[in-house]
């Protein structure tokens, strides 16, 4: 009798174990099916938004709102180049932060992401830190995902998600994220943005030059027709001093005139871009760097002989004195400025990373003493 009871208990336990396993599998299957259905629902919603007849900006805002609502994202922002500058197209962040958000592509922490077209995840590790790109926004966001947006290998802007929690995106569903990103790109491919996309080699308003993105898009096809090319980066090393002492208008004139000098001396077969701020890049396609020394010396000499002068002038200004507005004639100060240039040059080999090389040149020129103004080979 005891044996029978033991056997019955064993069988009951075995049955319960098997039943529990099967039940667990059914629960997991149900959960997976539910998750799959949720994913499909969200994907269909994004596809529906992309297919609607709204304007591009309206679609972008709807996509952004859907991401925030469905995935409990604290902040989501879309920044797009509109043909002249980077503009926040959709965001739930206070507008006081738009200037920071519209310049994330210039932040060192995201530059590799832009150059290699790969996402970048950043997070703080303790509550007393702030994200590298935050200026006076302590505590607004503690982790962020940055996604560069490319259309036909042309960089068009970026999407950034932010959270008020550390490590908030550690387990983010990449399937949905890719779907969101593709729908953003699909919307930006519409006719409304076609002219911007086609001209995204970005003509800088001061110099008339292409900007850095041109190097990694259309220009790269030209560069890679040659086995090797010399790549030169130069920087106006005293531009900050010029801006401070003579004003930004003269600083802009210096940048314009420097580019004009180089353009006048260059062959049209070479590529000359305004890389970023006071930094420029020249690609001498199919040319060995050793053969350029005299050319660069002549260019450097002519640039450093440049002098821009703003003579004093009389201007009328309105001042309030004892509650009354009084017109006073004043004489402005004489302003003058001359640029100093630092060159660095290296060889690009076809098939290697042009982005990696320009990054290497930039790191060298940024770390150099600002008083240094010579031609460096690395």
Does residue 142 sit within a domain? yes
What's the pLDDT tens digit per position in 324-357? 766 666 666 778 888 999 999 999 887 777 878 8
Q: What is the mean pLDDT of residues 21-36?
A: 52
Domain shared by 233 and 365, yes or no: yes
Residue 357 CA neighbour count, 13 Å, CB half:
25
Domain shared by 171 and 66, yes or no: yes
Domain shared by 180 and 239, yes or no: no
Domain boundary pick from 192, 218, 242? 192
Does residue 104 sit within a domain? yes
What percent of the chain has pLDDT above 90?
Answer: 15
Domain shared by 346 and 218, yes or no: yes
Residue 274 CA neighbour count, 13 Å, CB half:
22
Q: Which residue has the higher pLDDT, 7 or 300?
A: 300
Domain shared by 135 and 280, yes or no: no
- pLDDT value for 160: 93
What's the pLDDT tens digit per position in 215-250? 776 677 778 788 889 999 999 998 888 888 888 888
Q: What is the mean pLDDT of residues 154-163?
A: 86
- Cα separation, 209 vs 203, in Å, equals 5
Residue 50, domain extent: 29-192
CA angle, residues 296, 298, 302, in degrees to nearest 5:
115
Does residue 57 sit within a domain? yes
- Cα separation, 8 vs 6, in Å, equals 5
What's the pLDDT tens digit per position in 115-143? 778 889 999 888 778 888 887 665 678 89
Q: What's the CATH number where 91 sits?
A: 3.30.450.40
92 CB-near residues (< 8 Å, 6+ apart): 64, 65, 68, 75, 76, 77
Domain shared by 116 and 245, yes or no: no
Give how many domains the chain has, as a whole number: 2
pLDDT surpasses 50 at 35: no
Structure confidence at residue 83 as a pLDDT band (50, 70, 90):
low
Domain shared by 323 and 355, yes or no: yes
Does residue 10 sit within a domain? no
pLDDT surpasses 90 at 282: yes
Does residue 233 sit within a domain? yes
Query: End-to-end CA distance of the chain, in Å?
Result: 91
Domain shared by 161 and 112, yes or no: yes
Does residue 299 sit within a domain? yes
Q: Which residue has the higher pLDDT, 322 or 122?
A: 122
Domain shared by 153 and 235, yes or no: no
Q: What's the CATH number where 247 sits?
A: 3.30.70.270
Mean pLDDT of the chain, nearest integer: 78
Does residue 205 sit within a domain? no
Domain boundary pick from 192, 221, 245? 192
Domain boundary pick from 160, 192, 224? 192
Domain shared by 171 and 259, yes or no: no
Instruction: Judge contact between 148 and 158, C-beta under 8 A.
Output: yes
Does residue 371 sit within a domain? yes
pLDDT surpasses 60 at 286: yes
Domain shared by 117 and 79, yes or no: yes
Domain shared by 104 and 237, yes or no: no
- Residue of 102, 114, 109, 160 lying closest to 133 (CA atoms): 109
């Amino acid at each position: 009798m005891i044996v029978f009871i033991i056997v019955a208990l064993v069988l009951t336990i075995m049955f319960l174990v098997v039943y529990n396993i099967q039940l667990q599998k059914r629960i997991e299957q149900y959960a997976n099916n539910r998750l799959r259905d949720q994913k499909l629902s969200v994907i269909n919603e994004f596809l529906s938004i992309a297919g609607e007849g709204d304007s591009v900006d309206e679609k972008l805002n709807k996509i952004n709102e859907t991401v925030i609502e469905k995935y409990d994202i604290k902040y989501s922002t879309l920044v797009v180049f509109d043909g002249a500058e980077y503009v926040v197209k959709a965001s739930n962040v206070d507008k006081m932060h738009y200037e920071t958000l519209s310049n994330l592509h210039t932040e060192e922490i995201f530059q590799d992401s832009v150059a290699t077209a790969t996402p970048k995840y950043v997070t703080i590790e303790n509550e007393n830190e702030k994200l590298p790109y935050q200026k006076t926004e302590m505590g607004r966001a503690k982790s962020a995902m940055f996604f560069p947006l490319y259309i036909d290998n042309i960089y068009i802007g970026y999407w950034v998600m932010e959270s008020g929690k550390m490590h908030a995106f550690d387990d983010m569903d990449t399937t949905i994220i890719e779907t969101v990103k593709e729908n953003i790109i699909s919307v930006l491919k519409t006719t409304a943005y076609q002219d911007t996309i086609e001209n995204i080699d970005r003509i800088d308003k001061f110099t008339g030059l292409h900007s850095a993105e041109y190097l990694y898009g259309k220009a790269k096809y030209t560069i890679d027709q040659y086995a090797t090319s010399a790549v030169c980066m130069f920087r106006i090393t005293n531009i900050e001093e010029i801006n401070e002492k003579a004003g930004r208008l003269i600083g802009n004139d210096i940048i314009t005139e420097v580019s004009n000098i180089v353009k006048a001396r260059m062959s049209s077969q070479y590529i000359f871009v305004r890389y970023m701020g006071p930094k420029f890049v020249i690609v001498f396609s199919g040319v060995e760097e050793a053969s350029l020394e005299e050319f660069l010396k002549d260019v450097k000499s002519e640039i450093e002989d440049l002098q821009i002068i703003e003579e004093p002038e009389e201007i009328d200004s309105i001042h309030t004195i004892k509650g009354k507005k009084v017109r006073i004639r004043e004489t402005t100060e004489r302003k003058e400025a001359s640029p100093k240039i630092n060159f660095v040059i290296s060889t690009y080999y076809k098939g290697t990373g042009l982005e990696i090389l320009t990054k290497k040149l930039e790191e060298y020129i940024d770390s150099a003493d600002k008083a240094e103004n010579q031609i460096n080979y690395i």
